[in-house]
Amino acid sequence: MSSYQEIWSKVDKPARYVGGEYNCPTMRKEGVRFCMCMPDLYEVGMSNLGLRLLYHRINDMQSAECERCFAPALDCAALLREANLPLPSIETQTPLADFDMVGFSVQYEMLYSNVLYMLDLAHIPFWAKDRDERYPILVAGGPCAVNPEPFAEFFDIIDIGEGEDMLPEIIEVYRKHRASPNGYDKAAFLRDVARVEGVYVPALNTPEARSVVKKRFLPDFENAYYPEAQLVSNIEIVHDRAMVELYRGCANGCRFCQAGFYYRPLRYRSAQKVADICKGVIDRTGYAEISLGSLSTGDYPHLRELLHTLRPEADRRHVNLALPSLRLDTFDGEFSEGARKSSLTFAPEAGTQRLRDVINKNITDEDINRSLTLAFRQGYNSVKLYFMLGLPTETDEDLAGIVEICSRIRALYRAETGKKDVTVSVSCNALIPKPLTPFQWEAQISTQEMLRRQLLLKNALRAVKGVTFHYHDNTVSELEGIFARGDRRLAKVIEYAYRHGACFDGWTEHFKYDVWKEAIAACGIDERVYLDSQPLDKPLPWEFIDCGVTRGYLLRERERAYRNEATPSCLKGCQGCGCKCAAIGKGGGV
C-alpha cells in the first residue's frame, strides 16, 4: 500500500500538501482538533484572509488546535483513490474523519461541488443526517452563508457572520460536551450550540419550523484579533502578500453589492492600530507587499495620515503598499506615490449616469475624468474597468455609454501626455441578483439576452483602439444565479452533479454545464423559480437570518432604483438601514 509520502512524491506541486510553511505552529494533538478546509486549490485557499485569521485564532486557544486541508488537484485525488487513502490534513497528515470538527469556508456558489469532492475523498458521508457520533462535526461559514439553504443539509452547523469570536465559542461548547461524564451526545451538543449567537443548526431550524438566526459581528474592530506571525506559503499563491483590513462594512450602499450590506455595521480600525499591525507583519513574515484592504479603501478617513506614517518604513524595508478597491470618486494621486505603476483598476459598473443612479454607484463623469487625469500624471498608462450587464432598467444606450467612457479615457490620456500608448481593458460580468440586496427580487436576464448584449458591446468596442474586452461565461452566471437564491431542494442537485462528474466548477477547464443541466432536470427542479423575479409579498428562503439590514429598507432602495434616485453615502448621514453604524464619523488618526 502506498503511503502519503509516496503519493506526494508523484503529484504536481507537492508543496500543496506537505506543510512546513514559515510560521506554521507545532501541533500538539491535544484538546479539540479542528481542520479548516477551503474547497479549492492550495494557491487559492492560502490567499484568503479569513482562513488565515481563523486558523491562527484557533491555534492561539489553549483548548484547541487547527490544521488545514485544501481541495487536492485531480492528479492527487486519483492517487489517493488508487491507494484507498482518505484525504488528510496538511500539518500532521491526519485523515479528516479523525478530527473532532471540520470547517469549510464557502466563498462562492461554484464551490459547492468541491465540498462534496473533499468529503468523498475523506470518506465522510455527505448528509448530516447520515453522520453519527463517529464522525466529526461539520461546520460551514463564509460569504455564501448569506443564503446557506442550498448546502444546509450537508452541515451540522453553519456560522452566520464573522467567526473570530463565534468559532472559539462553538469549540468551547463542543469541548464541554466531549468532557461530559455522561458521554458525548451529538444531539445534545447541537441543541446547546444553537444558542450561540450566529449559529444556525439546519437539523433543528427547518423551513417548516423556523426560528430567527442573528448574524454575528465583531463590535470592537479596533481590537479585533489579527495574527502578525501568519503563515507564509512555500510556493507562489494567487495573492502572495499580507493583507491588513482598514475597516469592515461599507458606507456606499451599491444596490447590487451583497458584501456591502452583509458586512455592516461600518467599523474602523484607527490609523495607529493599522500602522502597528503592518509593522508587525513586516517584521514577522517577510512579505514584499502589504495590501491595505477593505470594500472601498479610499473611503478610509485616515488613509493619507496612515500612508505618511507607513511609507518611510515600507520604503526602508523594500515593501510595497497596495491599495485595492479604490473608488473613482476617492482616488487621490498622492495615494499612488511610491507604488508600482501597474494597471489601475476601477469599477464604474454602468456606462451612463442614469444607470449609475439606478444601482446607487455614486460616481459621476467628472469623477472619472478627474481620477484618470491624476492617474496619467502619476505615470499610469493602463486602466482596467469593470462593468456589469443585465442591470435593472438597462438599455442599449447604457451599453453605448461604456464605449463612450473608453473613448474619453483615450482622449484624456492624449491630452495629458501627448501620447497614444494607453491601454484600456474592459471586463463585463452578468448581474446576479443576490440575497440581502435591493435587487434580490429582480429577474436575472436570460443567457440568450446576455449574449446579445455582450456581442453588441464587443462589436462597438472594436472601433476604439487600444481597448480589449473580456466577459464572463453566461452558463456559469446562470448557475450562480440559481444557487444564490436557492433553497434546500438544490442539495440533491449538487449531489447528483458531483456524482456525475461536476468538480472544480469555478475553473473554466473543468466546468461541465451539461452535467448541471442534467442534474437539474433529473431532480425535477424548475430553474426559472430561482432565476425569474421573486415575489415581494412572501418570505424568501434566507430571510430567517437577521443580518441587521431590514427588509423594509431594501424594498425602499428598490423603489428608489426604479425612480433613478441615488441614496447618499452613510458617511453623509444615517440612511436608516437598521444596522446603526456606530463607527460613522469616528476612528482615530495616527
Instruction: Indicate whether 567 pLDDT > 70.
Output: yes
In order of 167, 304, 439, the CA distances from 484 in angstroms are: 24, 38, 12
pLDDT in tens, 195-206: 999 999 999 999
Report pLDDT for 338.
Answer: 52
Q: What is the three-class DSSP state of 89?
A: coil
For range 334-356, the mean pLDDT: 78
Q: How confident is the model at residue 324 (pLDDT cuts 50, 70, 90)?
A: confident
CA–CA gap between residue 121 and residue 303 (Å, rounded): 46
- The mean of the pLDDT values for the chain is 93
Q: Which residues contact 462 (CB under 8 A, 6 or more apart)?
A: none
Q: How confident is the model at residue 586 (pLDDT cuts 50, 70, 90)?
A: very low
pLDDT in tens, 43-73: 999 999 999 999 999 999 999 999 999 999 9
Domain 242-485+534-572, classified CATH 3.80.30.20, yes or no: yes
CA–CA gap between residue 3 and residue 15 (Å, rounded): 16
pLDDT in tens, 117-175: 999 999 999 999 999 999 999 999 999 999 999 999 999 999 999 999 999 999 999 99
DSSP 542-576: TTTEE-SS-HHHHHHHHHHHHTT-----GGGS---
- For residues 64 and 171, is the Cβ–Cβ distance under 8 A? yes
Report pLDDT for 510.
Answer: 96
Q: How confident is the model at residue 334 (pLDDT cuts 50, 70, 90)?
A: low
pLDDT in tens, 493-532: 999 999 999 999 999 999 999 999 999 999 999 999 999 9
Report pLDDT for 571.
Answer: 87
Report pLDDT for 254.
Answer: 96
Domain boundaries, the chain: 4-214, 242-485+534-572
CA–CA gap between residue 156 and residue 204 (Å, rounded): 10
Q: How confident is the model at residue 584 (pLDDT cuts 50, 70, 90)?
A: very low
Q: How confident is the model at residue 434 (pLDDT cuts 50, 70, 90)?
A: very high
Q: How confident is the model at residue 329 (pLDDT cuts 50, 70, 90)?
A: low
Percentage of the chain exceeding pLDDT 70: 96
Percentage of the chain exceeding pLDDT 90: 88
Q: Are domains 4-214 and 242-485+534-572 of this chain identical in fold?
A: no
Instruction: Indicate whether 583 pLDDT > 60.
Output: no
Domain 4-214, classified CATH 3.40.50.300, yes or no: no
